[in-house]
Chains A and B, each alone.
Chain A
């Protein structure tokens, strides 16, 4: 875990007409950590994530990737910069196989005449790299790389989506409600996958409504309330009740865990922010 943040946001503001989507939100993310973003509906979770993944352009504020300012005009920009997003609605092509899905929109072409003139894609190479990728992530549920994605279970499909995001040298992986549509068993598989991703040194942002999952996985928890960052806490120092209290405004939060990370100083929920 290194000391300087991989992704930072400073003073992000996003207005939708007269509705305040984001109210000067700061955020920091370090490699090798899972930062959970929680909040009630309309608290600005999705808007924050969309700004970071290029799906929305913030009205004000800056985003720094590895300390350098970046401006994303679309999701492809963010992806090129190394920020991958796994969306709640599974962004996979059901009729294509696992290898084709991993390489969707970044197919490898053959070298030489076949690729340059006939624009032939190198399915063998794509299969080889996909197998490697899936093996390195330890996804044991995906056996046959040429299996059509629609023949997979929900958990396996999510594993494909996560593998896709984790591949290709990405630094930051954003997971939007990755287990919302899954059963217990499949959820467990995906949670394990998320841990493995962290172990591989990637920085992960996890958006979830599921408090137990959040408290089990997250290193730090960023709480959004009414468009602003209400607090950053850690599962070590706060309970789920504390988190819910801050989320709902029953108790004021504070952002100490953010500033003190990675030392993880104990932050008292009672003190004023």
Chain B
């Protein structure tokens, strides 16, 4: 008996599935449309929040929307904003760096101490300080990729290690640089009309431009998303996953080095107790900015918007004469809302 098989021909498109076809081809509901737009533009929801916040604070205080005040917001956001750019790369790979601020502080202390105590010229001091940040992130990246440690645990350890090294290295003291020192260039301001920006702000914006380009228009950027999305699928597709992961940490190290230089400009030197909250603030900015903690989703510009939202709340509430603790409260709520929105975007099919 030749059983030539249960016929598995393409006979499923019968009348029975016509209703299914009709169901599938009905116009999308409003919820589905919103979902699909947010899915395509992850920075859209934080951008709307930022605009609403700016409008609301402009209504409560006439000083808020003055260019001088908005310039201040940008100057205040430069350090955390730059760190958040680096943090974004790591979070896109489904990792996290809890030590990003601690590494920045050590990097800035090395720059300042070499320049002031050891009398080094600014440029080599800057390069060695930056090298510290790159080295620290390379070690983190190697521990994550080679020994397969979870990024959370590695960087939790790194946080303690680098905080301790900073305090020991600086002997608990703040070191101030002489005005006009090269390392303070990032804190130097310039004016366009009544807009007063520092070169540090420009550095930050430049870094965002470079990262946004690299993530969107280079193979490296696309691979970063693919690895963060599904590392095993990326490996089977022929991507060298470990190399991409390591590169994310090293490039984040570069962002940390830039942040350290901006920090030197803001502090006017090196302070081992500065940037204590920067570790978590950078993560907050990234999350509010619409990047998924599960990796593979988000845009770097969202993190700048996230950092700005936090700063705008800080500044706006102060100008409105409200208790600054409301800012902490508001940021907490925003984080939870942002993660909920992300969960919704990732769950449903568009």
* A104 touches B (CB below 8 Å): yes
Residues of A bordering B, CB below 8 Å: 75-76, 79, 85, 87, 89-96, 100-101, 104-107, 109, 118-121, 123, 148, 150-151, 164, 184-185, 187-189, 191-192, 211-213, 215-216, 235, 239-241
Tell me the nearest residue of chain A to B234, going by C-beta.
Answer: A93
* B329 touches A (CB below 8 Å): no
Q: Count the B residues whose beta carbon is within 8 Å of the partner chain — how many?
A: 39
Chain A min CB distance to B327 (Å)? 33
* B237 touches A (CB below 8 Å): yes
Chain A min CB distance to B312 (Å)? 29
Residues of A within 8 A of B350 (CB): 148, 151
Residues of A within 8 A of B4 (CB): 215, 235
Q: How far is the CA of A165 from the CA of B271 in the complex (A)?
A: 56
Do A93 and B5 touch across chains, with their CB atoms under 8 A apart? Answer: no
Do B229 and A216 touch across chains, with their CB atoms under 8 A apart? Answer: no
Do A93 and B238 touch across chains, with their CB atoms under 8 A apart? Answer: no
Residues of A within 8 A of B12 (CB): 184-185, 188
* B223 touches A (CB below 8 Å): yes
A107-B219 contact given A89-B232, A93-B233, CB 8 Å threshold: yes
A105-B223 contact given A212-B8, A240-B3, CB 8 Å threshold: yes
Q: How far is the CA of A107 from the CA of B220 in the complex (A)?
A: 10
Do A75 and B233 touch across chains, with their CB atoms under 8 A apart? Answer: no
* B30 touches A (CB below 8 Å): no
Do B5 and A212 touch across chains, with their CB atoms under 8 A apart? Answer: yes
Q: Which of B36, B236, B296 contacts A91 (CB 8 A)?
A: B236
Q: How far is the CA of A148 from the CA of B226 in the complex (A)?
A: 12
Q: Which of B8, B11, B236 contacts A216 (CB 8 A)?
A: B8
Do A104 and B5 touch across chains, with their CB atoms under 8 A apart? Answer: no
Do B9 and A104 touch across chains, with their CB atoms under 8 A apart? Answer: no
Question: Chain B interface secondary structure, helix, strand, loop or mixed?
Answer: loop
Do A93 and B237 touch across chains, with their CB atoms under 8 A apart? Answer: yes
Do B225 and A96 touch across chains, with their CB atoms under 8 A apart? Answer: yes
Q: How far is the CA of A79 from the CA of B350 in the complex (A)?
A: 33
Residues of B within 8 A of A91 (CB): 232-234, 236-237
Residues of A within 8 A of B39 (CB): 148, 151
Q: Which of B8, B40, B229 contacts A93 (CB 8 A)?
A: B229
* B192 touches A (CB below 8 Å): no
Chain B CB count within 10 A is highest, among A91, A106, A123, for A91
Interface readout for B1-27 with A: 1 if CB under 8 Å, 0 if not?
111111111111100010000000000
* B113 touches A (CB below 8 Å): no
Q: Which of A76, A148, A235 contacts B238 (CB 8 A)?
A: A76
* B222 touches A (CB below 8 Å): yes
Residues of A within 8 A of B191 (CB): none
Tell me the nearest residue of chain A to B220, going by C-beta.
Answer: A119
Chain B min CB distance to A50 (Å)? 12
Residues of B within 8 A of A107 (CB): 219, 222
Do A100 and B233 touch across chains, with their CB atoms under 8 A apart? Answer: no
Residues of A within 8 A of B131 (CB): none
Q: How far is the CA of A123 from the CA of B219 in the complex (A)?
A: 10
Do B1 and A120 touch across chains, with their CB atoms under 8 A apart? Answer: no
8 extra interface residue pairs, beta carbon distance < 8 Å, beyond A93-B296, A95-B296, A121-B218? A87-B236, A91-B234, A94-B229, A95-B297, A148-B40, A213-B8, A235-B5, A241-B3
